[in-house]
Amino acid sequence: MELFQKHIRSLTVRYQRALALYRKNDRALEALLVHSGCQLYYFADDRSVCFQAYGHYLHWLPINRPDQFIYFSPGQKPIYFQIVPEDYWYDQSIKNASWWADSFQIIRLGAVQEIAKYLLDAEVGYIGPNESRAAEIGIDKSAINPEAIIHYLDYQRAYKTPYEINQLKEANRLAIAGHAAARYCFLNGGNEYQIHMTYMEACNMLEEESPYTNIVALDEKAAILHYQRKRRNNSEHSQVLLIDAGCRVNGYGSDVTRTTVKESAHESFKSLLAGMEILEQELVAMANPGVNYPEIHLAALYKIGQLLIELDICHGSAEELMKSHVSHLFMPHGVGHLLGLQVHDVGGHQQSINGAIKPPPSDTPSLRNTRELSEGMVFTIEPGCYFIPFLLEPERSQERGKAINWKLVDELYCCGGIRVEDNVLVSEAGVENLTRQFE
């Protein structure tokens, strides 16, 4: 697979630059060892925690397994230290597919400690989640996750190679098949559990293979942003489904949310959903090179204010609702985040390779992306509008609560809320919606 080879070549250039940046007490590093991570266990138990390999390791290799290592040294083919312990409790075999395996010199070992003899006297840095593992291999403490290198790598992760974009597209194609099946299940009376299982089956996916825990919320539960349960009770009278669910392909996750209503749902809520669908696509169209991501966030709040006024859910002007933060009560999260090997990908607040941070606006501390958009970036656009009693009720007796039509809000609490989320690529041509192209 030529695209993967090109991807590895791009990574090679990045890692060379990252190494060039590092110099501490006049010492340079000659090589980097990138670790997938260690298997974790629950306290006082032999049951293991579901393993998720570290992002910078997955960037090189689509093998989601503990204690695998990439050894990068400039001018040398990257080495994959493939650790395959002898074990009859678990399947430890790893199948090397030529499309990725050809890009590495593969050294198969039975135990992590055997790596040490390959490192010899080289000054090797360690990139990974487990310091004690690094120490076992003989890495100097000062060379574990050197800040300058991590900042550089985190920052660059936002720019996807054509190989990565292909993985993200495929992850979207699969997710859309799942969303279509979930919608059908809901319209035919399925409960949260059944909708969840239908989604998983349509994506041909196990829970541990999914990029994040599916959010499958009916009616009032749609107002809980990360609602994590799956109710099995009778749901034939449910009016609203909010499902936030993705798929993972070679480590790359999609992150897609759809809201569906039945014909019999509250008229105002149906209009709100129609408005949110349009609004979301307007926001996607804004995502051009040179735009600061927080501008899209502010536009979302403004447009939601307009929509709430148009539908008589709020009174006044969109400017007033922004100023009084009433809009924020209806969308209390950021409009999206960087996407890739992690669903909330790294480097969202970083402004440069040296780690300078631009924090999110103080009224939306959960905005996970404050970067300026440029070609190759992939992120989500996910405006939402919710009826959250916890946020709205205290305003009933307050001055700014006068801007809210409480009679209508009381009727809409049972509908929960709306979120519409697509995955977006900034391309040469401007914007590419990685999600809607499969619908």
Least spacing, CB of residue 302 vs Mn ion, in Å = 21
Using DSSP's 3-state secondary structure scheme, residue 190 falls into: coil
Residues between 331 and 390 with contacts to Mn ion, criterion CB under 5 A: 380
Residues near 388 by beta carbon (within 8 Å), at least 6 away in sequence: 223, 224, 329, 332, 417
Between 254 and 324, CB nearer to Mn ion: 254
Hunting for tokens 């960087």 — which residue is that? Answer: 338
Q: Which stretch binds Mn ion (CB under 5 A): 176-184, 200-208, 255-263, 304-312?
A: 255-263
Between 127 and 367, CB nearer to Mn ion: 367
Q: Which two tokens stand for residue 267?
A: 């008229």
Residues near 148 by beta carbon (within 8 Å), at least 6 away in sequence: 18, 21, 22, 354, 355
Least spacing, CB of residue 167 vs Mn ion, in Å = 17
Least spacing, CB of residue 226 vs Mn ion, in Å = 10
Q: Can you give the length of the chain in residues?
A: 439
Least spacing, CB of residue 22 vs Mn ion, in Å = 33
324 binds Mn ion (CB under 5 A): no
280 binds Mn ion (CB under 5 A): no
Between 239 and 423, CB nearer to Mn ion: 423
DSSP 3-state percent helix, strand, coil across the chain (nearest 5): 40, 20, 40
Between 324 and 380, CB nearer to Mn ion: 380
The order of strands in the sheet holding 378-381 is 378-381, 422-427, 430-433
Report the C-alpha gap between 271 and 154 in whole angstroms: 41
Q: What is the DSSP string of 74-105?
A: TTSPPEEEEE----SSS-------HHHHTTSE
Instruction: Quote the distance between the C-alpha of residue 101 and its chain's center.
Output: 27
Q: Which of 255, 345, 422, 432 binds Mn ion (CB under 5 A)?
A: 255
Between 305 and 334, CB nearer to Mn ion: 334
Least spacing, CB of residue 335 vs Mn ion, in Å = 10
Contact 437, 425 (CB under 8 A): no
Q: How many helices (H) and strands (E) does the chain have?
A: 14, 15
Least spacing, CB of residue 61 vs Mn ion, in Å = 25
Between 170 and 255, CB nearer to Mn ion: 255
Residues binding Mn ion: number (CB under 5 A): 2
Binding mask 112-131 for Mn ion (x = CB under 5 A): --------------------
Between 339 and 392, CB nearer to Mn ion: 339
Least spacing, CB of residue 358 vs Mn ion, in Å = 20
Residues that bind Mn ion (CB under 5 A): 255, 380
